[in-house]
Structure 1
Amino acid sequence: MSVQATNYTKPASPAAGTFRTYFGKLTNTLVQKYRTYRTATELYALTDSELKDIGLTRGEIARVASRTHF
């Protein structure tokens, strides 16, 4: 008769997975908000002439910054 060695690992509890999922989504949301903020800040720092060079107006900055996805 042979004996098989098995590795049993304790499965993560459902609550742990839920926490990781929630924390991951929260982190992604915060990173996206920060990127939007930084993009808008950098664009608002440009002069009107520089914005015109890249095809933007000051009124479009918020919309453009919110669409920033990396």
Structure 2
Amino acid sequence: MDGRLKAEMSEFDRNVNNAAEKITIKTRQGTKIRVDAIGIDKSTGNVIYRGISDTTNKSRNYKAY
């Protein structure tokens, strides 16, 4: 992880509890979603996530929504 990405993750970590990096979430329908950072917002208690990476390996089935 380069310096900019480390800085962004560090900032994210300050604003959330239970921060985790590079998580894949699988929905009930079987769709897999990759996030760079996920955690629980300290002020609201909501789960928040962020895509931080400059590049992401995308499968041939990748669709942007």
Same structural fold, with TM-score higher than 0.5 when normalized by the shorter chain: no
Structure with the largest fraction of helix: 1
Scaled by the length of structure 2, what TM-score is found? 0.32
Structure with the largest fraction of strand: 2
